[in-house]
Amino acid sequence: MSSKSPIYIGSGSTDTTVADALSIVANASVMSQHATTAERFAQLTGATVINASSNADTTKYSALEYAQGTTASTGGSAKDWAIYTTGGVRGSTSDYSAKEWAVGILGRGDAGKGSAKDWATRAEDSTVDNAGYSSLHHAAKALASKTAAETAKTGAETAKTGAETAKTAAETAKTAAEAAETAVETIFDNFDDRFLGTFTTGAEPTVDNDGNALSVGAVYYNSTATEVRFYNGSSWDAPAAAAATSATASATSATASANSATASATSATSSATSATSSGTSATASSTSATSSATSATASATSATAAQTAKTAAETAETNAETAETNAETAETNAETAETNAETAKAGAETAKSGAETAKAAAETAKTGAETAKTGAETAETNATTQAGLATSNGAAQVTLATAQVTLATTAKTGAETAETNAETAETNAATSATAAAASATAAANSASSIGDPTGTAISMAIALGIVLTPLIG
């Protein structure tokens, strides 16, 4: 049997031979060197591990250096990769620690960098890297877009209300224009029934211009006799001709009176001669003298009557001339009134057309306002959706926010355009109403300018004015 050594190695109970024990003793220094090398691999910092047995550089670092060291050649210790925030990880200066990526600020302004905290809460309008913005920024922009959209919606609703008001005003103006047109047409028709135009003696009118029975006081100009004639209910009177006839009759009466005076004078002369010749008979002379005196008195009376007749004839002639002048003035006024009535009618038709145009513009403005309102409501919906998505980072979020701002701007522009259209429609409606009122006033002035010697045309103008007043009031 081989002898055994009473030596035990470690905690085991296996017997170690003497040879083994002697070998261990002999290699104790080598084992010590290995222990030193192991210790270096465990705890050495600041340098690579040197093999204690061969004294060779292993070009490797200890576990402690890799765990929390600062040597750059390691590529960065575990500690640096975890919490270092002063700069890039030591050993990899282009990258940051987990803590820096989580809450740091070193990546601001660098493309593709920035901490999770910055990407979440960086202030509005401040970039995280060199171009992107935080969720907080996008949420604020989305909220602003929503507010702008709501403002645009309110503006669109206001514009719609304005457009509806303008439409109502346009419709009112149109109604007024139509009423004015009707009034003018009535005035023109009534005037047309009174002043029938120009005819000849052989073709005097038997009905008015509407084909109805003639009215007493109807007027026409006779181009054959160059005079104005009036209808008396059964025939046509010519006041100027009647006045001329009266003047001629008065002149004839005056001539007859003058002849009678001459005859009386002759009789007086004969009587005087007879009185001188009859001197032999006092009684006869006395009787003759008495007869002569009576004859002289009759002659004087005849002379006075002749003078009176002459004065009446001159007055009649003056009246006839005045009547003729008044008739010519009445004709001119009638023609002027007819022209004014036609002008007023044309103005009323223009006002009606303007009112219809204003109404169409108001309806267009209303449609634009409704479109703007729809756009604003769509913008508001998109803004609400945008606010819900604001917590997501990236290019998609930026694109949505930009689109939202564009949409809200478009809605605002649409609302402003609708408001401008509504104001234009309102102005057009007011202009139409003014034109209608002016047309009615012109028609009333035309009616009131008519005049004639008999007063018939004046009465007609007053009657037409009474009809027109409530229409233009």
Flag whether 139 is in a domain.
no
Task: State the residue range of the domain holding 448.
Answer: 146-472
Rounded mean pLDDT of 243-247? 73
pLDDT digits 0-9 by tens, 426-436: 676 566 557 65
Q: Which residues pair with 189 in a beta bridge?
A: none
Dihedral over Cα of 461, 467, 470, 473: its sign: negative
Last residue of a domain, one of 15, 42, 68: 68
In the sheet that holds 195-199, the strands lie side by side as 195-199, 219-222, 227-231, 236-237
User: Is 285 or 151 the better-scoring residue by pLDDT?
Assistant: 151
Among candidate residues 13, 41, 68, the one where a domain is terminated: 68
Q: What's the predicted TM-score (pTM) here?
A: 0.45
407 plus 298 within the same structural domain: yes
CA dihedral defined by 123, 127, 132, 133, rounded to 10 degrees?
A: 10
pLDDT at 464: 43
pLDDT band at 220 (very low <50, low <70, confident <90, very high): very high
Residues 79 and 189 in one domain: no
Instruction: Look at 86 and 167; give whichever has higher pLDDT.
Output: 167
Is pLDDT above 90 for 160? yes
Q: Return the ∠ at Cα 377 (arms to 373 and 380), rounded to 5°.
A: 140
Position with higher pLDDT, 146 vs 74: 146
Tokens of 373: 């309102």
Instruction: Indicate whether 61 and 157 sit together in one domain.
Output: no
**What's the structural domain count of the chain?**
3
- Considering 150-159, 357-366, 395-404, the range whose residues carry the highest mean pLDDT is 150-159
Q: What are phi and psi of 196, to 5 degrees?
A: -90, -15
**How far apart, in Å, do the first and last CA atoms of the chain sit?**
151
140 part of a folded domain: no
Mean pLDDT of 246-274: 64
Helix 135-194 × helix 456-472 angle, to 10°: 160
Per-residue pLDDT band for 374 (boundaries 50, 70, 90) equals confident
Task: For residue 151, give both structure tokens.
Answer: 């403002």
Residues 211 and 293 in one domain: yes
Compute the distance between CA of residue 32 and CA of residue 459 in angstroms, rounded to an integer: 147
Query: Are residues 64 and 159 part of one domain?
Result: no
Residues 243 and 310 in one domain: yes
CA dist 218 and 202 (Å) reads 18
Flag whether 454 is in a domain. Answer: yes
Judge whether 137 lies within some domain: no
C-alpha pair distances (Å), 220 with each of 12, 108, 210: 155, 100, 15
Single-letter residue type at 443? A
- The set of residues, in sequence order, having a beta carbon less than 8 Å from that of 321 and lying 6+ positions away, is none
The percent of residues above 90 in pLDDT, for the chain, comes to 27
Handedness of CA 216, 218, 219, 223 (dihedral sign): negative
Q: Do 445 and 319 belong to one domain?
A: yes
How many other CB atoms are found less than 10 A from the CB of residue 337? 26
Residues 262, 241: one domain?
yes
120 and 188, same domain (yes or no): no
Last residue of a domain, one of 35, 68, 101: 68
Residues 185, 58, single domain; the answer is no
Pairing of strands 227-231, 236-237: antiparallel
Residues 155 and 168 occupy one common structural domain: yes
Residue 155 lies in a domain: yes
Residue 375 lies in a domain: yes
Residue 33 placed within a domain:
yes
**Domain-located, residue 196:** yes
Across the chain, mean pLDDT equals 75
**For strand 227-231 and strand 219-222, is the pairing parallel, antiparallel, or unpaired?**
antiparallel
Q: What angle do CA 229, 241, 230 make, to 5 degrees?
A: 15
Q: Which residue type is seen at 158?
A: T
Task: Read off the pLDDT of residues 420-465 as tens digits, 9 standing for 90 and up.
Answer: 766 776 676 566 557 656 655 654 554 444 444 334 443 444 444 4
Residues 86 and 178 in one domain: no
- Dihedrals φ, ψ of 195, to 5°? -95, 110
